[in-house]
Copies of this chain bind each other. A is one copy, B any other.
Amino acid sequence: MADDKKLTTRAVDFSAWYNETVLRAELADYSPVRGCMVIRPRGYGIWERMQRQLDTAFKDTGHQNAYFPLLIPESFLRKEAEHVEGFAPQTAVVTHGGGKKLDEPLIIRPTSETMIYAMFAKWVQSYRDLPLLINQWANVVRWEMRTRLFLRTLEFLWQEGHTAHATEAEAEEETRRMLNVYRDFMEAWMAMPVVTGLKTDSERFAGAVRTYSCEAMMQDNKALQAGTSHNLGQNFARAFDLKFQSESGSTEFAWNTSWGVSTRLVGGLVMTHGDDFGLRIPPFLAPIELVIVPIWRNDEDRTRVLETARSILADLSGWERRKTGKLRVHLDDREGMKPGAKYYEWELRGIPLRLEFGPRDLDANQCVLVRRDNRVKRTVTLDSIGEDVSDLLSIMQTDMRVAAFDRREANSIRGGITYDRFREVMEGDGAFVYAGFCGSATCEQTIKEETKATIRVLPDEEFRSAEAPETCLRCGAKSVVEALWAKAY
């Protein structure tokens, strides 16, 4: 596709819009290996900022990073019955190494519970060694048949937290704590509001006792499972003999949790904030927060405009913001390219603020600031440009979060929806539907087959409707719990 062609609009084909935006904003590219993507610098820069903030949050909650092997003996997977059932069909298998057939095939980790709890069993002897709070930044491989850039790829980058605790209550507390760390990050940094809650058994992590999830609404009203946190009970501790001597001298199995988010979040960011002009990056995560585009018509103008542009660059680059550090500013001084073409490109790439600046502005000691989120222009004096930019970025971060929240709420349905109407909604524009659920796996399965919608979560209290629904969405039996239904990625 030529770079000057307009993007397919979201209304016409959301899926095509997404792919075009990811490719043309140079976030990622297809690779020569089916289902594996290349994360380009503009995409990796967003992931790096996500990593840095999450890593800080993990360390602030007492976790330490470590690194475990990529390759796992096939037999390890089989030690936990549900786990192997869930992951075995998706494995990539190494059968040969150093030119020889291996005695036992090795799988590329699809997740690391088995390896990590095998090591924990070696390290933990006593209650004094607990809690053990570990995180790993790593790549994993799951052999997916249908892949989408960032959203579902054979290989992806993620972090996986793994912890061991002396009591069930502590493990549950950790599971919830990390779910909230994710939620805070998604809302404050990604400007992406989420609904948190418990997964039903059908969507539970293979090997977990309970799985909690953060679910975000994309602009096509589908849900994206953005992060999960699992209470693993003693399932893996039993499988890998992870025991400890308690304070009273008895020998007990430890209680585990695991939790992860992945490069999928970059896809979530695109589908939450992008518009028909391309990407819109929330300022906190933007590798470049502001781009300066100087304007000139002749060489004389060029000299004096560029000189001032460079001094603005130096001035702004020195600004330190509380949460996000030094302002990240870029000067686009490319020759032989019209300002309009530069605007178009930086809009496509989603840079939050653009500073336009020409000879007349110079004479008037002013410049034009253009917000990417709402494309509103504002002429400001150069005297207080640092304050103005800093304030605008904070306002944009909030505005983007509020806009995403309002969009989600406008596309959420609560209270007394009939099943016929539900089917219409799911066949049409989709929505987050809060409705009663009888608790039967059969009912859940039937609804999924009939509408492609699934229970995203049994929402946490703050997300539940003021009046609890009385009957099940489909079967009309007494509702035992409120469920959030949606089609999902």
Which residues on the B side are within 8 Å of A66 (C-beta)? 38-41, 44
Q: Is the interface of A mostly helix, strand, loop or mixed?
A: mixed
Contact A38 B65 (CB under 8 A): no
Number of interface residues of A (CB under 8 A): 55
Contact B48 A157 (CB under 8 A): no
Q: How many whole Å from A116's CB to the nearest CB in chain B? A: 9
State in angstroms the CA–CA spacing of A32 and B105 once bound together.
13
Which residues on the B side are within 8 Å of A99 (C-beta)? 88-89, 91, 143
Contact B90 A93 (CB under 8 A): no
Q: How many whole Å from A160's CB to the nearest CB in chain B? A: 14
State in angstroms the CA–CA spacing of A65 and B46 once bound together.
11
Report which of B71, B90, B94 forms a contact with A98, defined as CB distance below 8 A. Answer: B90
Contact B155 A71 (CB under 8 A): yes
State in angstroms the CA–CA spacing of A40 and B124 once bound together.
13
Which residues on the B side are within 8 Å of A69 (C-beta)? 31, 33, 36-38, 155
State in angstroms the CA–CA spacing of A70 and B92 once bound together.
12
Report which of B65, B91, B155, B157 forms a contact with A41, defined as CB distance below 8 A. Answer: B65
> Closest chain B residue to A63 by CB distance?
B41
> Closest chain B residue to A287 by CB distance?
B64
Which residues on the B side are within 8 Å of A122 (C-beta)? 29
| Residue-wise interface mask of A (7-45) relative to B, using a CB-CB cutoff of 8 A (1 in contact, 0 not) | 000000000000000000000010111001111110011
Which residues on the B side are within 8 Å of A94 (C-beta)? 92-95, 108
Q: A68 contacts the other chain (Cβ, under 8 Å)?
A: yes
With A67-B38, A143-B97 known to touch, is A33 a contact of B90 (CB < 8 Å)?
Answer: no
| Residue-wise interface mask of A (381-400) relative to B, using a CB-CB cutoff of 8 A (1 in contact, 0 not) | 00000000000000000000
Q: A457 contacts the other chain (Cβ, under 8 Å)?
A: no
Contact A72 B41 (CB under 8 A): no
| Residue-wise interface mask of A (41-55) relative to B, using a CB-CB cutoff of 8 A (1 in contact, 0 not) | 100110110000000
Q: How many whole Å from A322's CB to the nearest CB in chain B? A: 16
Q: A139 contacts the other chain (Cβ, under 8 Å)?
A: yes
Q: A343 contacts the other chain (Cβ, under 8 Å)?
A: no
- 17 contacting pairs across A/B (C-beta < 8 A): A29-B122, A29-B123, A32-B118, A36-B70, A37-B69, A38-B67, A38-B68, A41-B134, A44-B64, A44-B67, A70-B139, A71-B92, A91-B96, A92-B94, A92-B97, A93-B94, A99-B143
Given A33-B69, A41-B64, A89-B98, 6 more A-B residue pairs with CB atoms under 8 Å apart are: A29-B119, A29-B123, A33-B73, A45-B64, A70-B108, A98-B144
